[in-house]
Structure 1
C-alpha cells in the first residue's frame, strides 16, 4: 500500500498539473477530470493518454512562452 501511495504522489507531483488546470478552468474538481481520462482511456484503448500528453506538452510550452511579469523591470 505504501508503494502505491508513493507512486501516486510521484505522478501527482510530476504530472504537469494538466488535470488540475483544466478542472480550474471548467470549475469542477480535479478528481473528476482524472477519472474522465481514466475511463476514456479504457474506451479508446490509450488514445486519450496521447491527448493528455499532448495537452501537457502544450501547457508547458505556453508557460515557457507567456510568463507573467509583475513589473516593467522584470524583463
Structure 2
C-alpha cells in the first residue's frame, strides 16, 4: 500500500489543483470535490474526467493571462 500512498502524494503535489481551487471557491473540502469527480466519472462513463481536464486547462490559461505584477518594472 506504500506505492498507492506515494502515487496519491505525487498527484496531489503535481496535479492541476482543480479540485482544491474549486473547493475553496465553493467553501467545501477538497476531498469531497475529488470524490464527486470520481463518482461522477464512473456514473457518466468518463464525461466528468473531460470536464476536469477542461477546467485544468482553463485555470492554467487564466493563471498565465492574469498574473499579478507587483510593479511596472516586472513587465
Give the shorter-chain TM-score range. Answer: over 0.9
- Trace 1:14-53 onto structure 2 (pairs within 5 A): 14-53=14-53
Structure-1 separation of matches of 2:22 and 2:42: 20
Q: Secondary structure at the match of 2:61?
A: helix
- Tell me how many residue pairs correspond in the alignment: 75
Q: How far 1:23 moved relative to its partner?
A: 0.5
Residue 71 of structure 1 deviates from its aligned partner by: 2.0
Segments of structure 2 that go 5 or more residues without pairing to the other structure are none
Unaligned 5+ runs, structure 1: none
TM-score, L = length of structure 1: 0.94
State the distance in 1 between where 2:70 and 2:31 align.
Answer: 32
Deviation digits for residues 7-46 of structure 1 (CA, Å, limit 9, x no counterpart): 1011111211000000011111100100110110111011
Provide TM-score, normalisation by structure 2.
Answer: 0.94
Following superposition, which runs of at least 4 residues in structure 1 exceed 6 angstroms of deviation?
A: none
Q: CA deviation at 1:74?
A: 1.8
